Amino acid sequence: MLPDSFLLELKYRADIEQIVGAYVQLKRRGRNLTGLCPFHSEKTPSFTVYPESQSFYCFGCGAGGDAITFVRRAENLDYLEAVKFLADRVGLQVPEGSVDDTGHRRRLRILEMNREAARFFHSCLMSDQGRDARAYLVKRGLTKKTVTRFGLGYAPESWDTLTAYLRGKGYTEDELTDGYLGVRRKGGGVYDAFRNRIIFPIIDLRGAVIAFGGRNLGDKGPKYLNSGDTPVFKKSRNLYALNFAKSAGRGDLILAEGYMDVVAIHQGGFQNAVATLGTALTGEQARLIAQYTREVVLAYDSDEPGQIATRRATGLLEEAGVGVRVLAITGAKDPDEYIRTYGPEKFERLLEGSESAADFAITRLRQSHDLDTAEGRVAFLQEFVRLMADNPSPIQREVYLSKICRDLEVDKQAVAAQLAAAIKRKQQTARKREAGQLRAFTSAAPGARGELERQKYPRQVLAGEGVIAYLMKHPDSCAWVREQVEDQDFVSPGDRELYQAITAKLSQGHPAEVVTLSAVLSEERVGRLMEITTKDIYRDQSRTEAKEFIQVLQEYRNKKSDEELGRLEGEELGRYIASQTAHKK
């Protein structure tokens, strides 16, 4: 653990205004500074820097913390790397031996091993045993230049070629399995995870090989195999070829379905193509994309699953504030085949002609119905209404409604009434689903709970927030708060963790500041802490107000659910009623 004294010194020297200023254009606003958030795409600044507390918070995406947290996110570093990065910049020496950097060293080992493996796979591809693999790539139209640029490789059809090679280089069985290159055998030992596959190394923004994707050349096993999550790789947070695409110099990104598509699109001269890593687009990836662009062209397969994936991705991207256009690929099943068949120039024209997501969906719908018959028109309108009910923009709904009704010569009022009813039904379903989620919240993963708790116990959650905010501003009141508030009084596990971390620091006589807390809390928790401490309502909280928050927490302390109440008997029930009346006073 780094000593607090060092962290405070670092905070004093590494001025957050300067650190952030290197990435974000900041404008002074009163005591604070604002700018466009580097972590999500936005047009009006909601990213704020607080020089007084040397911290930042984005009201748009909830990112927040100190200079270390900022550098971690901006440079995609782990905690210790970020500390070193900052210390270097201001000429501070990170105290030797004060840090347990086993995790850090383990990650470095895996990254080195991955680099070795990528080189090995590439040399296999270029050697005799890679003949079939090379033939396959030639058949797919890839040039040698492209193969080198993407560092493509070949994993031979063998159980121990790579693992034996890496063992010879000194890597342990644990390291092989941790990095997902080796699989543990039941009887002991490890075997190669990738066999008889074309290998696509996945490279992060700093040029490190963090994982691998493998395309099967035989018929054993799945068509695509990807590294699972490892200490250096999280599938849901990375994108294939983002290392090239981010500096492509085009305003938008092309999001394709697979490695081969991306490689083919790049070879065609479009360096801004990326893909997810063998899974459907996640919300995290959509937010990652939002850091680089405001517009995405979806270039998924033209088949049914591709169309379903297009709709899903559209929703996630729009939620992240990214505009979506959709590529209508006709005459080929995917972008790779399209470019091979028609050439890059036609692909460019396809890109230029790509429609907005809503236009695209309506065009597809029109094509799939025979609008010359009455039945065809009715079926079309029913699906059109369903589609529009999902469209969050009232203006777009109105525009499309008018256009379709005019084109089909149908009564607009009738269709509008249908649409209104569909929207109402959708809201009812959403409400039911929310109620179901609330019931399920106790079993939910800690990270996903925050929002749900706020809906279920707004008063209790707010009171908890108030107590945390008060503690941050009045550290000398820690003992007073600690006497009255128990950890369990926080219904939100995340806020409870904050309370525990803050009171632990304070009761040891250490300062509880964002800079010292970010050493022990996750980025998400630090963001939450910033959310709480930047709220206006807690700014000049008096002790009396703090007392009220504490009372709310105590009031809820012994409250039992109806179900639990039903099981109480005799003396226990009497005690419970007494405790509840005591709080009501």
Q: Which residues bind Zn ion (CB under 5 A)?
A: 37, 39-40, 58, 60-61
| Nearest-approach distance from CB 186 to Zn ion, in angstroms | 47
State how far the alpha carbon of 167 is from the alpha carbons of 164, 208, 229, 437, in Å: 5, 21, 22, 48
Per the structure block, which two tokens stand in for 53? 């507390």
60 vs 141, beta carbon nearer Zn ion: 60
62 vs 344, beta carbon nearer Zn ion: 62
291 vs 356, beta carbon nearer Zn ion: 291
Amino acid at 117: A
Residue ranges with strand state E in 336-489: 355-356
Distance CA 355, CA 350 (A): 10
45 vs 213, beta carbon nearer Zn ion: 45
1's CB contacts (< 8 A; 6+ apart) are 98, 99, 100, 519
58 vs 202, beta carbon nearer Zn ion: 58
| Nearest-approach distance from CB 341 to Zn ion, in angstroms | 42
Amino acid at 341: T
CB 291, CB 39: distance < 8 Å:
yes
40 vs 505, beta carbon nearer Zn ion: 40
181 vs 320, beta carbon nearer Zn ion: 320
39 vs 85, beta carbon nearer Zn ion: 39
| Nearest-approach distance from CB 36 to Zn ion, in angstroms | 9
CA nearest 201: which of 127, 104, 286, 111?
111
Place of tokens 């962290």: 7
CA nearest 81: which of 62, 108, 53?
108
Distance CA 133, CA 38 (A): 41
306 vs 321, beta carbon nearer Zn ion: 321
| Nearest-approach distance from CB 39 to Zn ion, in angstroms | 5
Distance CA 186, CA 167 (A): 19
DSSP letter at 453 equals: H
What does the CA dihedral 279, 280, 282, 286 come to, rounded to 10 degrees? 110
Q: Could you tell me what percentage of the chain is helix, strand and coil, using 3-state DSSP and rounding each to the nearest 5?
A: 55, 10, 30
- 183: phi then psi, degrees, rounded to nearest 5: -115, 135
Per the structure block, which two tokens stand in for 29? 């606003």
| Nearest-approach distance from CB 162 to Zn ion, in angstroms | 41
| Nearest-approach distance from CB 143 to Zn ion, in angstroms | 40
CA angle 207, 208, 214 (to 5 degrees): 110
| Nearest-approach distance from CB 291 to Zn ion, in angstroms | 9
| Nearest-approach distance from CB 282 to Zn ion, in angstroms | 18
| Nearest-approach distance from CB 493 to Zn ion, in angstroms | 24
State how far the alpha carbon of 457 is from the alpha carbons of 176, 436, 554, in Å: 46, 15, 14
